[in-house]
Structure 1
Amino acid sequence: MVVVTWRGREHIEACLNALKAQDRPHRTLVVDNASDDGTAELLRDVEVLRLNKNLGYAGGISAAVRHVGTEFVAWLNDDAAPEPGWLGALEDALDGHPGAAAASSVLLTPAGAVQSTGVRLTHDGHGADIDRESEQVFGFCGGAVLLRTDVLREVGGVPAHFFCYYEDTDTAWRLRLNGHEIVPARSARVRHLHGASTEPGSWNFHLWNERNRLLMLLRCAPAAVAARQLAKFAALTAVLPLRRSRPDALNFSVRLRLRVLGEVLIKLPGSRRAGTSARRRAVWARWAGQTW
C-alpha cells in the first residue's frame, strides 16, 4: 500500500485510519514529498519514505515501487478514505481475473456521488473519468487502484517525469499494449476529497494535464494519432493571438501552451514507445471514443 502525501496534514489521518480498518493484511508505506506543514509529525507510527524534494504524485509512486516486495501494490491518494472492504474487493477482483494487471476502484465525493469507476479513452486521446457503473474500463484513476507489482515493473513502472496527472492513464496504456486487462471492482469504494494537494484549474494543473496527455500519446499511441494531436495543439497555439476573443481558461493561455510545447520537445527524445505499431493501432481502435 503506497500513500503519497505533500502537505497532507489536514486529511492524511482520515486516510491512515481508513487503512487500519481494512479487513486484509497489508503493509503501508507513506511517501512524504518533502512536506513542510507538519505532516511528518503525524507519520510517526507508519513506515515513511521521506523525499528531499517534492517529486509529485508520479515521482512519489515511482520512488516507492522500488521498495515494494509484495505481489500487489496499491496506489492511494492521501485525501482518499477507503471503506473497510476496499482492499479485499480489489484483491478478489485480480484473483478472479488472472489476465488482469490492475483493478480500478469506485471513487466517491464526500457526499457520496460517483467521481470515477475507471477511465475511458476519448477520441482525441484524453483520459476521462467514467462516472457510472461500467462493465469495461480502459484504465483506472490512480487515486485508488491495485496493480500486480511484477507486471507494473515489466511495463516500465511509473513515468516519474510526469510529476502529476496522466501517470495512471499512461500506465494503463502500457499495460494494455503488453496484453494485460484492467477490471473494475465495483465494491471497492473510496471517499475522495479530490484536489486537496493540487488546485484544479490552476496554472500547474493545466500545464501538467496538457503536457502529459501529449507525452502519453507520443509514448503509447499510434504515430499518426500522436502527430495529429501534437500538430493540432501547436496550430491552435499559433492562431490564438490572432483571435479577438478566446476562452478565459488557463489552458488557452498562449504562454502556458508555449511552455507545454517546449517541455514536450525537451522530453521527446527520451520518450519510450511501448508495443508494436500494430498493437498500438489495435488498442486505439478498440478503446478510443468508447462511451459505454
Structure 2
Amino acid sequence: MVVVTWRGREHIGACLDALETQKSPHRTIIVDNASDDGTAALIRGYEVLRLDRNRGYAGGLAAVLDLVRTPYVAWLNDDAEPDPTWLSELETALEDDPTAAAATSSMLLADGSTQSSGVALTADGYGKDMVLAGREVFGFCGGAALVRTSELRRAGGVPASFFCYYEDTDTSWRLRLNGSRVISVGPARVRHRHGASTRLGSALFHRWNERNRLLMLLRCAPLFVALRELGRFAVITSLLPFRKNVPQAANFRVGLRLRVLGEVLVRLPVTMVQRWRIGWRASVSRKVVWRDWGGR
C-alpha cells in the first residue's frame, strides 16, 4: 500500500484511520514529498519514505517502487478513505482474473455520487473518468487502484517526470501495450475529498494536464495521433489571440499553452527514446490499442 502525501495534515489522518480498518493484511508505506505543514508529526510511527523535495504524485510513486516486495501494489490518494473491504475486493478481482494487470475502484464524492470507476480514452487522447463500474475499462484511476507489481515493472514503472496527472492513464496504456487488461471493481469503494490535495482548475492543474497528455501520446499512441494532437494544440494556441469570446479557463491562456509547448519540445528527445523502449517491450501494437479504446 503506497500513500503519497504533500502537506496532507488536514486529511491524511482520515485516510490512515480507514487503512487501519482494512480486512486484508497489508504493509503501508507513506511517501512524504517534503511536507512542511506538520504532516511529518502525524505520520510518525508509520513506515515513511521522506523525499528531499516535492516530486509530485508520480515522482513519489516512482521513488517507492523499489521498496515494494509484494505481488500487488496499491496506489491511494492521501485524501481518500477506503471502505474496510476495499483492498480485499481489489485483490480478489485480480486473483480471479490473471489477464488483468490492474483493478480500479469506485471513487465516491462526499455526496455519494461516483467520481470515477475507471478511465476512458477520448478521441483526442484525453483521459476521462467513467462512472459505470463492474466492467473492463481502458485504464485505472490512480487515486485508488491495485496493480500487479511485476506487470508494473515490466511496463517500465511510473513516469516520474509527469509530476502529477496522467501517470495513471500513461501506465494503463503501457500495460495494455504489454497485453494486459484493466478491470473496474464496483464493490471496492473509496470516499474521495476531490481537490483536497491540489487546486482543481488552477494554472498548474491545466499545465500538468495538457503537458502530460501530449507527452503520454508521444510515448504511447500511434504516431499519427500524437503528431495530430500536438499540431492541433499548437494551431489553437496560435489562433487564440485573434479569437473573440475566449473561455476564461486557464488552459486557454496563451502564455500557459506556450509554456506547455516549450516543455514538451524540450523533453521531445528523451520522450522519443522512451517511445522506442515502450514499443520494443510491447506485444500489442499501438494501432490496435487505439482502435479498440480511442474514443470508446
TM-score, L = length of structure 2: 0.96
- Report the aligned-residue RMSD: 1.1
Structure 1 equivalent of residue 29 of structure 2: 29
> How far apart are residue 134 of structure 1 and its match?
5.0
Q: How does 1:114-125 map to 2 (within 5 A)?
A: 114-125=114-125
1:287 partnered with 2:293: yes
Q: After the TM superposition, which residues 38-117 of structure 1 pair with which residues of structure 2 at under 5 Å, given as runs?
A: 38-117=38-117
Residues 9, 42 of structure 1: 8 Å contact kept: yes
Gap regions ≥5 residues in structure 1: none
Distance 2:238 2:142 in 1: 33
Distance in 1 of aligned mates of 2:6 and 2:201 = 19
Could you say which residue in structure 2 is the equivalent of 1:180?
A: 180
Output the amino acid matched with 1:150. S
Q: What does residue 258 of structure 2 align with?
A: 258
Match of residue 227 from structure 1: 227
SS of match in other structure, 2:120: strand
Q: C-alpha deviations, 1:32-78, integer Å up to 9, x for none? A: 00101000000112100000100000000000111111110000000
**In 1, distance between residues paired with 2:137 and 2:80?**
21
Is there any run of 5+ residues in structure 2 with no aligned partner, and where? none
Give distance in 2, aligned partners of 1:134 and 1:67: 31
Percent identity over the alignment? 62
Could you tell me how far apart the structure 1 residues matched to 2:139 and 2:260 are? Answer: 24
2:133 and 2:185 in contact (8 A); partners too: no
CA distance in 1, matches of 2:149, 2:135: 24
Alignment partners' CA distance in 1, 2:109 and 2:175: 28
Is the 2:136–2:181 Cα contact (8 Å) retained in structure 1? no
The answer to whether the 8 A contact 2:134-2:185 is kept is no
Say whether the 8 Å CA contact 1:13–1:42 is kept in structure 2.
Answer: yes
Q: How does 1:97-246 map to 2 (within 5 A)?
A: 97-133=97-133, 135-246=135-246
Local SS of the residue matching 2:136: coil
Deviations 1:7-56 (A, max 9, x none): 00000010001001000110000000010100000011210000010000
Please state how far the C-alpha of 1:245 moved relative to its aligned partner: 2.9
* Cα separation, 2, equivalents of 1:154 and 1:89: 24
Deviations along 1:240-274, whole A, 9 cap, x unmatched?
11123311111000000000000001111111112
Alpha-carbon distance between aligned partners in 1 of 2:207 and 2:230, rounded to the nearest angstrom: 15
Q: Does the CA contact (< 8 Å) of 1:178 and 1:275 recur in 2?
A: no
The runs of at least 4 consecutive aligned structure 1 residues that moved more than 4 Å come to none
Q: Distance in 2 between matches of 1:196 and 1:67?
A: 27
Q: TM-score, normalised by structure 1?
A: 0.98
SS at match of 1:13: helix
Q: Quick one: distance in 1 between partners of 2:279 and 2:244?
A: 44
Distance in 2 between residues matched to 1:246 and 1:3, nearest whole Å: 39
Q: 1:205 & 1:241 partners in 2: Cα distance?
A: 22
